Amino acid sequence: MPRKKNPWRWSRQRELAAKLIADDQLPDLEIAKRVGVSFVTLYAWKDKPEFAGRIKELVEIHRKAFRDSSFASAAHCAAEIERDYKLLKEVQTERARVYGAEQFKNAIPGGHTGKVAITRYRLVTDPLTGKKQNVPIVAIDTQTEMLKLAMLKQAQQHLGQWEEQQNEGINQALDFLKILDQQMKNGPAKAEEPEGEKKA
């Protein structure tokens, strides 16, 4: 007469063993020691459909928790980047309001766009009146533009929406702004003297 199989029954030992196996941090021999059973017993448990099913269930729980945590972290980072991006746009909007005002309209070329910034002032003398006045020297605010583009790229990367080929325009714009920014820092190129007028 065939031997009747004992029905599977869960215990704290078996639940702990399933959890440790699902965690995948310890070798089976160490798990068996921690649970208080022999390696042979643990091996026999792993052969049971109920035990194997519980391990699979716990592994899936771990995976889901990791995915949710990763997405939440990425979404949080993207939200922070979006907030900073909006603040930069507010700066440009306010700058456009001030620089584009009637009293600055002629003194600050492109001021109404919010994309230029006063880098320094130059003291000049009005040839008609002889009065001296500070004239603003403006330049494209490459730093802010680069920050905005970099933020857009970083936010899309966090959310898994960045595709190099589809966003090639952003990469090219970033490269162009970096070059322009460096040229502005270097100042205007020096004009070469004509061949006949070069100093020895």
23-37, 70-84, 94-108: range with lowest mean pLDDT? 70-84
**pLDDT mean over 56-66:** 85
* pLDDT value at residue 194: 42
CB atoms closer than 10 angstroms to residue 17? 25
Q: How far apart are CA 160 and CA 11, in angstroms?
A: 42
Q: Please report which confidence band the pLDDT of residue 50 belongs to, taking 50, 70 and 90 as the band edges.
A: very high
**Residue 80: its H or E element:** helix 49-99
In this predicted model, what pLDDT tens digit does every residue of 166-190 receive, in sequence order?
Answer: 566 666 666 666 666 666 566 554 5
In this predicted model, what pLDDT tens digit does every residue of 68-84 receive, in sequence order?
Answer: 766 666 667 777 777 87
Percentage of residues in the chain having pLDDT higher than 70: 70
Q: Please report which confidence band the pLDDT of residue 196 belongs to, taking 50, 70 and 90 as the band edges.
A: very low
Strand ranges (DSSP E) for the chain? Answer: 116-125, 132-140
Summary count for the chain: helices (H), strands (E): 6, 2
The mean predicted confidence, pLDDT, of the chain is 77
* Integer Rg of the chain from CA: 34
